[in-house]
Structures are given as structure tokens and as C-alpha cells.
Amino acid sequence: MNILATEYSLRHKALELYVAGCKGPHCPGCHNPETWSFDQGVPFDTVTKREIETKIKDFAHMIDNIWVLGGEPIDQDRKALEELLSFLRGFRPVWLFTRYELSEVSENILCHCSYVKTGRYNEDKLVDDNVQHGVKLASSNQKIHRLNN
Ligand code: SF4
């Protein structure tokens, strides 16, 4: 599994971590086709772990949550994703953003997450008012689930 990028979201007080790769069939109208390839970014390993930890500690006062996005996190190597989520939850509550439904995500993944955004981007169901847990979602079919972790 490769890490494509990290960003700070001041608005959501979150460190955003993007994993590289999203398997087809892709969502029509996807705004991030540059994230589809698995063959980009840097491997998630001990070096990247240290770098992520530094990013969290350097701006600890600005980060309430850690968001894991893609690409598509659930299309990643399952063991590597579990390791990433387990590592991150040691610092802050983890939010996982996926196009899959909650029933399609394994318990080994969910147990590390405090929030999970589900549902694929659907350009036929675009809305302006789907705000859940302070996050605006693009289409009406998408949800954010609060988990008991
Ligand atoms: S899951 Fe995300 S990255 Fe993949 S096609 Fe859909 S919107 Fe694009």
C-alpha cells in the first residue's frame, strides 16, 4: 500500500492521508482520477510511519482527527490497511472515507475507526445539504456512520 499525499485540513482540524489506488468500476464523474493508480506515492513502512508521526506531533494543536481517504482505502492490501489504521488510532480518532457500504467493510477494519463515510460518488444524486458530523457530502446516498470505537 502506498501513501499518495498528506494534507492538513484547517477547517476540519484533521490530518488527511490519501492512499494511492482505486479499482474500477470507477464512479462516473470522479473528481480524483489522478488517485486511481496504485503505482505512485511512497510505501507505507517504518519511514513513512515516522514521518506521519512527526506531522501529527508538529501540529498537534491543529489536529483533532485523522482522515484516511483515497483513491479507495478498502481496495488496498487488507493487512497493510489494518496496520495503518491501528497505527493512526494511537494518536487521534480515525475517519475512514470509502465508496463501499458499511456491510462490505470487514470488522478488522471497522474496529480501528471512529467514523466511516460510505457510499460511492453519484453524479445523479448531487446535493448541497447533505452535512453529517460537520462534513459536507457530495451525493444524497452517502452517509457518515459513528462507530463505538
Ligand atoms: S471511489 Fe473515490 S477515487 Fe474511486 S472512482 Fe469513486 S470517487 Fe473516484
Question: Which CATH number fits the domain that encloses residue 71?
Answer: 3.20.20.70
Q: Which three cell numbers stand for residue 140?
A: 444524497
**Cβ–ligand 1 contact at 75 (below 6 Å):** no
Number of domains into which the chain is organized: 1
pTM above threshold 0.95: yes
Which amino acid is located at 39 in the chain? Answer: D
Whether residue 92 contacts residue 113, with contact meaning beta carbons closer than 8 Å, is answered with no
Rounded-to-integer distance, Cα 63 and Cα 57, Å: 9
**Cβ–ligand 1 contact at 71 (below 6 Å):** yes
Whether residue 97 contacts residue 71, with contact meaning beta carbons closer than 8 Å, is answered with no
Rounded-to-integer distance, Cα 14 and Cα 66, Å: 5
Residue 58 Cα to ligand 1 middle (Å): 30
Residue 40's φ and ψ, nearest 5 degrees, are: -160, 170
- Mean pLDDT in runs of 10 for the chain (149 residues)? 97 98 96 97 96 96 97 98 98 98 98 98 97 98 95
pLDDT digits (tens, 9 = 90+) for 38-69: 999 999 999 999 999 999 999 999 999 999 99
- Range of the structural domain that residue 13 is part of: 2-146
